[in-house]
Structure 1
Amino acid sequence: MRILILATLISFNLYHANAQTDSTTQNLNEVIIQENRIQIPFSKQSRNISVITKPQIETTPARSLQEVLAFVPGVDVRQRGVTGVQADIGIRGGSFNQTLMLLNGIKLTDPQTGHHMMNIPVPLINIDRVEVLKGPASRIFGQNAYAGAINIITELSDQKSLRVQGYAGDFGMKGLNFAGSLPSGKYKQNLSISYDDSNGHWYNSDYQVSNIFYEGGLDLNDNHSLRGMIAYTDRSFGANGFYTSAFPDQWESLQTTLGALSHTYTQNRFKLNSRAYWRRNKDEYRLRRNEPSFYQNFHTSDIYAIELNGSYESKIGTTGFGAEVRQEKIESNNLGNHERVLAGLFLEHLIQLGSKTDLRAGVYSNYYNDYGWKHFPGLELGFQASEEIRLYSGYGKSFRIPTYTDLYYVGPTNIGNPDLQPEQAQNFEIGAKWTKAGLFAELVYFSRNTDNLIEWVRPDANTPWQPQNFNEVRFNGIEAAFTYRWQRRSSMLQLKELMLSYNYIDASLVNQPGVETRYAFTALRNQIIGGFLVGLGSKTELNTKMRYVERISQDPYFLLDMRLDYNRIGKLGFFAEASNMTNTDYIEAGTVQMPGRWFRAGFMINLDYDK
């Protein structure tokens, strides 16, 4: 009721605003992929990259970034409950520890555990686009970008605006999101706040999630600019089945803080960005929610980092370079108190070989005070066969050091292994892209040969899980994707977007007699994603999304989701969403039974003001 009252009050002021324009006409080929150093347009990339634009985020039947990512080909999202209150993200058969999350190029790694990678302190309403790089990204971002990387991009606007969204739905869920842009002279700034909660879809699955995100930027002159951000997320939730089915009363509370300040210097063909950031994650975990004395963990991890990234364009191509120093600390009543220092050096070069061929090669060298120097070489070769067709191939080495949970955790159902060795892999891919007008198609084959794969195992159900190293594990896969976007037409019924993708992964890891594995055999084997966006008149849109998911050792399942928007880009709009319309019985992670058919509906207010 309070949400409806707020919508009514704000609507009285709509006459002050100008109509918002949709950005669906944006040419994706012109989007510059943000890799901190050498920046290349999407159309010239010799990698398998998916870009999720703002209109796609807005029209997807989803209340969280985790749910949006579930519709990206090759990305495996394993949610524990609705709206992704806790979710693991894997790419190309990789685990949640092998995917690197970034926010505007800032690494959101957590030394405690990869389960916290998705503690993103940015409301969905404030995300401009998401870039998903599939395959080894260690050469670009360093360790943890083992199987891929996901970069969340926000943008500073020079126009005053206000956006409000509210919704309510099944399981007592409700939420309110606010995002405002208030530039003042040369200073641009955004503020966004969100709150979501629910009673949960089954016993002990309630949650409360709050986010606040502030970002500011100042162009000092033509050569110098400053940008800073501070963000905070607080999420508490019942964790029935999240980590073990033996204790249905689990509960967890997480608070993540992120602060960053950067300076960019640009002079002709030279660009240099310096950045410092700090990330803190506090984790309170109870095995019995209302009986903390039975078993309780407190973890506080801090990351302090300084980065220097630059590029220089010369007659012989573009050179990228960089350096970083990062300190990771943890204070824990379970894991103990630990500290490690990581340093990295980066160098790469992009050169044109004739009019149609380009080569990009480089190396990222990291130093770890526990493991010494490690080097991640890689290269990509691209051939522009025609204006529409691009062929590419690439090689890269990836690396991941164990988390503190991997090494030191002690509990009734999980025990760490201090003798673990880092994971490393050799990666190869070859692919082709076809782009013409609104059509985009891609076909990719990839291979990842892993040494010392870290996997949690146990001999029987009465023994705690413990991580071990597995040697020579190979992943082979094929990815095929097709998307067509029609230009806006004047007919009452119009098909705006059609997409279909298929991903297949074969893993050589053999289930050993007498040993049960926890994550490896839940990786994707077959994944089919389809969808179409239909326009009904000038103000109504219907988006239908379908997923077929088959994991290596689990039963396959099919999901159908839909979203209906009215006046989405207007001053006052409304939407309705339905998830799992087929009422499928399925599990994505742990032993959490996902909900059957469920619904939610809400409103959005978009106000753009003249400068």
Structure 2
Amino acid sequence: MNKILVIGCMITFSLQVNAQNDTTARNLNEVIIQENRIQIPFSKQSRNISVVDRQQIETSPARSLQEVLSFVPGVDVRQRGVSGVQADIGIRGGSFEQTLMLLNGIKLSDPQTGHHMMNIPIPLVNIDRIEVLKGPASRIFGQNAYTGAVNVITSLSDTRSLRLQGYGGDFGMKGINLAGSLPAGKYKQNLAISYDESNGHQYNSDYQVSNIFYEGGLDLNANNAIRGMIAYTDRTFGANGFYTSAFPDQWESIQTTLGALSHTFNDQSFSINTRLYGRRNVDEYRLRRNEPSFYQNNHTSDVFALETNGSYKSKLGVTGFGLELRKEQIESNNLGNHERSLTGIFLEQLVNLGEKTDVRAGVYSNYYSEYGWKHFPGLEVGFQASKALRLYSGIGSSFRIPTYTDLFYVGPTNIGNPELQPEEARSFEFGGKWTHASWRGELVYFNRYSESVIEWTRTSSELPWQPQNFNEVAFNGVEASAYYRVNPNSKTVQVKELMFSYNFIDANFTSQPGLESRYALTALRNQLIGGVLVGLGEKVEWNTKIRYVERISLDPYFLLDMRVDYNRLGKLGCFAEASNITNTDYIEAGTVQMPGRWFRAGIMVNLE
């Protein structure tokens, strides 16, 4: 363990810094879910949504967004290595290609491959909250929101602040995170920088990850505002077992750049947001790290998009509308040079039927240059049975287009299929939300049926994997969760948060005889997550997290993680984390053996 960090913790414990109230302990029912058109408070949503706020992010035993998401019910995180150097995210048994990632509503999907979905150029310290929408989200966010969507939210501050974190740990792990807010008159701006590195927990698993994120915003007057953002991430890592176990010296280096500019007009009855954004991803992959001439892929993908989204309040309710223009292109020595364009149209209506019932219906229609017109309707109904209990139900359609890797990749163990068609699914869910005092609970059943899921298959272990459109796939699942939170007080020992969730998914695959499936039979079956955050006095917080994960045809595993914070909200604090305390032997993705018991510790400086 890094001696400097340990000494820093000892010094911090000797300081007498006044405790601060945890301003992140907001009322979740009042949080407005950041969809692109009709925005509804969490308490009035007729969807299965999880929100991870700043307090949960800061107290979780996690150093990356990927690790934070692993504690969200119904989300299946499959890491290759530690600290989120690369991870695949699935929702409700879906694959990593079927989840849409967003940053402040901006789509981060990459036309090359879903493996780049989590190349999010923002340090964890700058995230305000994370919204996870489970179920079909194409009507809300468009293409590729097949089984759900994850929206990472940042916020601009009115006050000056500076936050600095440094840490070190096993495997030569060390990192530093810096986030500052420096408003100048009416102009608000944030800057965040981070750097993380490790020697790796096994042979050829070292990594270096750098992030820089800047955003600014200006309120022009009471109705108009502009906001801009530019971000960059560089991820370079040894990729032992990432894509095949036959070549332990795999290596990859990825650089992602994101820029966006938006304008918002808002008055009492009408609002509209127009934004322009672009994303570039540069990917260099080597089968042998020090022999690029043996086998090397170089890909550069670009996405350019213009979106307009708005809402109008009238006697009929709230009308949402939107238009999306998107162009995707790639230059690659393996996949070739390709481009495609999309036009999408959104239309939806929210209507209140009396005081207890509301209906929200809409359709997303798009035209892809390669596949023509597709239409995806959806409907949600909510019923406020009592002050504490809300019942809801919904149906919807979703789809995902093949990536360029699905279509054109040529390699020693994988080969694409240019005849692939988009995935399409029909989904249904029914659930109930219960809220009383400091408690919140939810129970939901869902069903998803598809006749065209894209799955990598092969007929023999001696042949390469190739994607096919499956004939028939059905998912049925149940999610149950309970959550408790209270504001901190002066008690010597206080349970601040308590959470428990259980997910069960039954997957029924009908495939052609003699075909071996690569991803379908690794879908989530049973998932149990528990956690308790205990306050010890005014300054110490102790968070314990457990996870039990079982996937189809794979061995189940149990993980225990802990984190202790001292003076987290004060001027100077420190923390210590222990991951996989039970020293469990497990694999989440590919053939990457995850580490056994390991530790991290660090210091935090908060200045205002």
Does residue 588 in structure 1 map to residue 588 in structure 2? yes
In 1, the alpha carbon distance for the partners of 2:530 and 2:6 equals: 37
**Paired AA for residue 479 in structure 2:** E
Aligned with 2:281: secondary structure?
strand
Mapped contact 2:577–2:600 kept (Cα < 8 A) = yes
Q: Which residue in the other structure is 1:344 paired with?
A: 344
Mapped contact 2:5–2:167 kept (Cα < 8 A) = no
1:218-241 Cα shifts (integer Å, max 9, x gaps): 000011100000000000000000
Q: Which residue in the other structure is 1:386 paired with?
A: 386
In 1, the alpha carbon distance for the partners of 2:497 and 2:511 equals: 42
Does residue 309 in structure 1 map to residue 309 in structure 2? yes
1:16-41 Cα shifts (integer Å, max 9, x gaps): x9975412431000000000110000
Does residue 173 in structure 1 map to residue 173 in structure 2? yes
1:259-297 Cα shifts (integer Å, max 9, x gaps): 000000112210010000000000000000000000000
Does residue 248 in structure 1 map to residue 271 in structure 2? no
**Paired AA for residue 399 in structure 1:** F
Report how far residue 491 of structure 1 moved: 1.7
Mapped contact 1:384–1:390 kept (Cα < 8 A) = yes
Q: How many pairs were matched up?
A: 604
**Paired AA for residue 382 in structure 2:** G
Q: Which residue in the other structure is 1:367 paired with?
A: 367
Report how far residue 496 of structure 1 moved: 0.9
In 2, the alpha carbon distance for the partners of 1:287 and 1:348 equals: 48
**Paired AA for residue 207 in structure 1:** Y
Q: Which residue in the other structure is 1:67 paired with?
A: 67
Report how far residue 510 of structure 1 moved: 4.5
Mapped contact 2:77–2:87 kept (Cα < 8 A) = yes
In 2, the alpha carbon distance for the partners of 1:230 and 1:288 equals: 33
Report how far residue 485 of structure 1 moved: 1.1
1:77-127 Cα shifts (integer Å, max 9, x gaps): 000001110000000000000000000000001000000000000000000
Mapped contact 1:3–1:166 kept (Cα < 8 A) = no
**Paired AA for residue 347 in structure 1:** L
Q: Which residue in the other structure is 1:42 paired with?
A: 42
Q: Which residue in the other structure is 1:103 paired with?
A: 103
Q: Which residue in the other structure is 1:422 paired with?
A: 422
Q: Which residue in the other structure is 1:444 paired with?
A: 444
Q: Which residue in the other structure is 2:322 paired with?
A: 322
1:181-238 Cα shifts (integer Å, max 9, x gaps): 0000000000000000000000000000000000000000011100000000000000
In 1, the alpha carbon distance for the partners of 2:74 and 2:202 equals: 29
Report how far residue 3 of structure 1 moved: 7.0
Mapped contact 1:20–1:571 kept (Cα < 8 A) = no
Aligned with 1:508: secondary structure?
strand
In 1, the alpha carbon distance for the partners of 2:63 and 2:302 equals: 29
In 2, the alpha carbon distance for the partners of 1:55 and 1:266 equals: 30
* 1:504-519 paired onto structure 2 within 5 Å: 504-510=504-510, 513-519=513-519
* 1:401-416 paired onto structure 2 within 5 Å: 401-416=401-416
In 2, the alpha carbon distance for the partners of 1:5 and 1:149 equals: 39
* 1:110-259 paired onto structure 2 within 5 Å: 110-259=110-259
In 2, the alpha carbon distance for the partners of 1:433 and 1:487 equals: 22
Alignment gaps of 5+ in structure 2: none
In 2, the alpha carbon distance for the partners of 1:143 and 1:376 equals: 10
In 2, the alpha carbon distance for the partners of 1:272 and 1:459 equals: 52
* 1:513-532 paired onto structure 2 within 5 Å: 513-532=513-532
1:129-183 Cα shifts (integer Å, max 9, x gaps): 0000000000011110000000000000000000000000000000000000000
Aligned with 1:406: secondary structure?
helix
In 1, the alpha carbon distance for the partners of 2:20 and 2:213 equals: 23
In 2, the alpha carbon distance for the partners of 1:319 and 1:520 equals: 38
**Paired AA for residue 435 in structure 2:** T
Mapped contact 1:273–1:309 kept (Cα < 8 A) = yes
In 2, the alpha carbon distance for the partners of 1:318 and 1:439 equals: 30
* 1:250-329 paired onto structure 2 within 5 Å: 250-329=250-329
In 1, the alpha carbon distance for the partners of 2:470 and 2:342 equals: 25
Q: Which residue in the other structure is 1:83 paired with?
A: 83
Single out whichever of 45-54 and 489-498 deviates more from structure 2.
489-498
**Paired AA for residue 397 in structure 1:** S
Mapped contact 1:232–1:257 kept (Cα < 8 A) = yes
Aligned-pair identity in percent equals 76
Evaluate the alpha carbon distance shift between residue 6 and residue 534 of structure 1 in structure 2; reply closer, same or farther with a 3 A threshold: closer
**Paired AA for residue 72 in structure 2:** V
Aligned with 1:399: secondary structure?
strand
Mapped contact 1:3–1:176 kept (Cα < 8 A) = no
In 1, the alpha carbon distance for the partners of 2:132 and 2:218 equals: 28
Report how far residue 436 of structure 1 moved: 1.1
Aligned with 2:171: secondary structure?
helix
Given the two structures, how large is their TM-score scaled by the length of structure 1? 0.97
**Paired AA for residue 566 in structure 1:** Y
**Paired AA for residue 154 in structure 1:** T
In 1, the alpha carbon distance for the partners of 2:345 and 2:241 equals: 42
In 2, the alpha carbon distance for the partners of 1:257 and 1:72 equals: 27
Mapped contact 2:165–2:605 kept (Cα < 8 A) = yes
Report how far residue 564 of structure 1 moved: 0.4
Aligned with 2:450: secondary structure?
strand
Single out whichever of 459-468 and 126-135 deviates more from structure 2.
459-468
**Paired AA for residue 387 in structure 2:** E
Mapped contact 2:5–2:168 kept (Cα < 8 A) = no
Evaluate the alpha carbon distance shift between residue 2 and residue 565 of structure 1 in structure 2; reply closer, same or farther with a 3 A threshold: closer
1:460-511 Cα shifts (integer Å, max 9, x gaps): 2211110001022100000000001133232201111111100000111156
Mapped contact 2:66–2:77 kept (Cα < 8 A) = yes
Q: Which residue in the other structure is 1:434 paired with?
A: 434
1:300-358 Cα shifts (integer Å, max 9, x gaps): 00000000000011111000000010000000000000000011000000000011000
**Paired AA for residue 578 in structure 1:** A
In 2, the alpha carbon distance for the partners of 1:50 and 1:431 equals: 14
Report how far residue 512 of structure 1 moved: 5.4
Aligned with 2:202: secondary structure?
coil
Report how far residue 515 of structure 1 moved: 2.0
In 2, the alpha carbon distance for the partners of 1:281 and 1:6 equals: 40
Alignment gaps of 5+ in structure 1: none
Mapped contact 2:544–2:560 kept (Cα < 8 A) = yes
**Paired AA for residue 283 in structure 2:** D
- Root-mean-square deviation (CA), in Å? 1.7
Report how far residue 516 of structure 1 moved: 1.5
In 1, the alpha carbon distance for the partners of 2:415 and 2:71 equals: 34
Aligned with 1:56: secondary structure?
helix
Mapped contact 1:20–1:606 kept (Cα < 8 A) = no
* 1:570-609 paired onto structure 2 within 5 Å: 570-608=570-608
